[in-house]
Structure 1
Amino acid sequence: MHANGGDVPTEFKTKKFAQRLLPARWGKGGPTITATSLADDYVHFLQPRVLTVREWARLQMFPDWYQFEGKRTTGGLRRAGNPRAGVFDREVPKYTQIGNAVPVGLAHQVGTHLARLLAV
């Protein structure tokens, strides 16, 4: 992907392949990605790897001291449970916690605005 401007050579493509190469620099429009709960959706702009949990957390504006609990990723019944069989336990992996989160800066701004409205 790095050698081909983000394109995957035909011999390496699969039906499920959905990875995209992150740009090294954002354009004038700023970031145009969506934080995702799938760890392998995006590839690091410089290195042939996916982003780490901490890198995704930084994109969502989590402070570096913030700790996520649980496994990095899970799948199948561990992630979805099986209500028909009475299995309601679900694991929420770190990538999902970050992908489902409202960006910290946005949450702060909304909270500040609501506090002003309620103070009137």
Structure 2
Amino acid sequence: MNTINRYLDCLTKLYKLPSYSPALIEEFLKLVDADGIIELTKWRKENIAEAIGINVYTINNALQVYKAKKIVNWEAVSVFTLNKELFGSIFNNAYDDGFPEFEVVFCRIIACNNSIDKVVIRKVGAI
């Protein structure tokens, strides 16, 4: 299991997301453009659903959960961005030249009955 899969599994457990979330969020990461935007057209949702073995309605329901838990942010109809506190901007165009290896450091800071999630993600070998 690579580092990004571990990170997505951790997010799924920490935020109590549906079990298909690691695969779905990984598909979202493949679609992030240079501005951090994910355009989820009907065609893209159908392809994602087929690739990971769920249906489009499940993706729509997952997006509602992700918005409520601030995993993704809604920008416009069918347009989303990833939470920069959880994903930073390292994924913008990350998959244009294949699938690089990522190093992920995740921590939850708890103080005064509040918690803050912080993540540092970088491409392995990048400066």
After TM superposition, the score normalised by the length of structure 2 is 0.26
Task: Report the structure, 1 or 2, having the larger helix content.
Answer: 2
Task: Report the structure, 1 or 2, having the larger strand content.
Answer: 2
